[in-house]
Amino acid sequence: MLQFFAKYKFFGIFLFVLSAIIIVIIYNILKPEKRLPVYQPDMVNNELVDSTMQEVRKYHKIKDFRLFNQNGDTITQDFYQDKIYVADFFFTTCQTICPIMTDHMLKIQQKIKEDREVLLLSHTVIPNYDSVPVLRKYADEKGVIDEKWNLVTGDKKEIYDLARKSYLAAKSDGDGGTFDMIHTENFVLVDKERRIRGFYDGTSPNAITQLLEDIEVLKKEYR
């Protein structure tokens, strides 16, 4: 009996290894590819969503916009047509979370600077102060690449509406007339159809790593 097993020992090992390889191949074929969720307003904390949008459950997209970047150029949704992009809200004199968020956005910029599919967009929440010259100075100090990253200012109500009705990324801090808002640390991942595909803590290195990974996942949808 022992001679029988010894005779077929290597054949058994071969079958075992072959079976393991086949199982791995089948698993990889059948395993569904990761797909990012499509966020709707009713999936987001109500504090970050305008009351008129809180019950929206489908078809949510970023609305058309018309703002001005650090060079004074008019930036509309056309600049981001057929692009994946990361958006956030900030202001240049912020001394709390904004410097960390900007550093992390710079890290993303470095990773995507040769990637033609991905762009960045940062909105000031105090446009009355953050004028085009102020944004230009800030961009120069931080090392913003103009072709990859727009820092935008413009009409305060439009920015407020974008933050609360489109990107779902700011808290209200006013009576509805002054359009004051408190920006959050959220980075928002937007796909080529102008849909929200992810929210990330812009102050967390781990969240930025996840964001970069999710950008690659999202890009695969367009292959």
Q: Give yes or no for a contact between 132 and 140, defined as CB atoms under 8 angstroms apart.
A: no
Whether the predicted pLDDT of 79 surpasses 50: yes
- Topology (CATH) of 41-220: Glutaredoxin (3.40.30)
Domain boundaries, the chain: 1-31, 41-220
Whether the predicted pLDDT of 196 surpasses 60: yes
Whether the predicted pLDDT of 4 surpasses 70: no
CA distance 64 to 27: 43
Q: Give yes or no for a contact between 150 and 122, defined as CB atoms under 8 angstroms apart.
A: yes
- The pTM score is 0.85
Read off φ and ψ for residue 186, nearest 5 degrees: -70, 135
Instruction: Give the count of beta carbons closer than 10 Å to the beta carbon of residue 90.
Output: 23
Average pLDDT over residues 19-32: 54
* pLDDT for residue 91: 97
Angle at 171 between CA 170 and CA 172, to 5 degrees: 125
CA distance 162 to 213: 26
